[in-house]
Amino acid sequence: MKNLKLAAISGSRRTTVRVGNVKVGSGFTVIAGPCGVESEAQTLETAHAVKAAGADMLRGGAFKPRTSPYAFQGLGLQGLKILDKAKEETGLPIVTEVIDPRDVSWVCEYADVLQIGARNMQNFSLLREVGKSNKAVLLKRGMHSTIEEWLNCAEYILNEGNPDVILCERGIRTFEKYTRNTLDISAVPAVKELTHLPIITDPTHATGRLSLIPSMSLASIAAGADGMIVEVHRNPAEALSDKDQAMTPPMFMELMAKVRKLEKIMKAEGLR
Ligand code: PEP
Ligand code: MN
């Protein structure tokens, strides 16, 4: 692929990104939590629920890049402090989005993984800034971006000296309207052919439909993904963002049992 140097595959070397005790790129890593941090009670309750179900990391946005400027924009610093408390109580590392290069240094005080959202995939000054940090970066694929454009964005981060990049396929825009986006499941093995970096999927934003999330989670394991990120809310009806696609804790618990089972079967059969 054109211009790829540091991200390009070379021999059999694969990058494993260490986040606390979690190794992304070894086994199937599950990141779960609310779309946005809305309150201490909502975040802590959801964090304990996803931990009990076996999630490896907690997600939650303190900065929400919304389609409408009038929609909930996140709690900012207060949200990061709540995530910190959730980490202290559950031990789960925190994955949270950063949307402005000026915020990177102080968001690093709270985040274990800096998420670059789909809308910011090609925000090159933001990519350079997270590339200078010492935190792992979860780089989501832009909804209008090709794999080549996406991997070049990973290259920006690596080129600043940060080797810890995790790619995330979160669905792309197609003519299909039944789903919020179209999960490009073929991007998983394609990316594995092209780069040594780990790749996870986001079945929640890819489908936007609760009923489809379990199948797409299992499809991700079958396709060889290194993990997934999904939204869980203690009470989705009350969520301030993405309420129609958040799983309840019992739904997530049920999905996790299937995820761990398929992961185990595939490993035992030499398929992963
Ligand atoms: C999110 O993870 O909440 C989010 C906004 O995702 P994306 O950037 O993929 O739309
Ligand atoms: Mn969301």
Q: Looking at residue 251, what is its pLDDT?
A: 98
Q: Do the domain assignments include residue 7?
A: no
In a domain, 4, yes or no: no
Residue to probe by mutation, ligand 1, list 119, 204, 247, most atoms within 8 Å of CB: 119
Q: How far is the CA of 248 from the centre of ligand 2 (A)?
A: 14
CATH code of the domain containing 120: 3.20.20.70
The pLDDT mean for the chain works out to 98
Residue range 143-162: mean pLDDT, rounded = 98
**DSSP string spanning 206-234?**
HH--GGGHHHHHHHHHHTT-SEEEEEB-S
269 burial class (0-12, 13-18, 19+ CB within 10 angstroms)?
Answer: exposed
pLDDT at residue 1 above 90?
no
N-terminal to C-terminal alpha carbon distance within the chain: 25
Which atom from ligand 1 is nearest to the alpha carbon of 241?
3
Whether 5 maps to a domain, the answer reads no
- Report the predicted TM-score, pTM, of the whole model to 2 decimal places: 0.98
3-state secondary structure of 189: helix
> What pLDDT was estimated at residue 265?
98
Residue 215 belongs to a domain:
yes
* Confidence category of residue 214, pLDDT binned at 50, 70, 90: very high
- Domain span at residue 142 reads 18-268
The DSSP letter of residue 172 is: B
Measured on CA atoms in the order 272, 6, 147, 56, is the torsion positive or negative? positive
| Cα–Cα distance, 29 to 202 (Å, whole number) | 12
**Is ligand 1 within 6 A of the CB of residue 180?**
no
52 is a domain residue: yes
Number of domains in the chain: 1
Asked whether 172 lines ligand 1 (CB < 6 A), one says: no
44-65 pLDDT, tens digit each:
999 999 999 999 999 999 999 9
Question: Which of 97, 138, 145 for mutating ligand 1's site (highest number of atoms within 8 Å of CB)?
Answer: 97
Q: pLDDT (tens digit, 9 = 90+) per residue, 9-51?
A: 989 999 999 999 999 999 999 999 999 999 999 999 999 999 9
Backbone angles phi, psi at 203, to 5 degrees: -60, -20
Q: Residue 78 domain-assigned?
A: yes
Domain assignment of residue 6, yes or no: no
List Cβ neighbours of 57 (8 Å cut-off, separation of 6 or more): 19, 22, 29, 30, 31, 32, 92, 93, 94, 95, 112, 113
Per the domain annotation, does 221 fall within a domain?
Answer: yes
pLDDT score, position 261: 98
| pLDDT at residue 151 greater than cutoff 90 | yes
Residue 2: pLDDT band by 50, 70, 90 thresholds?
confident
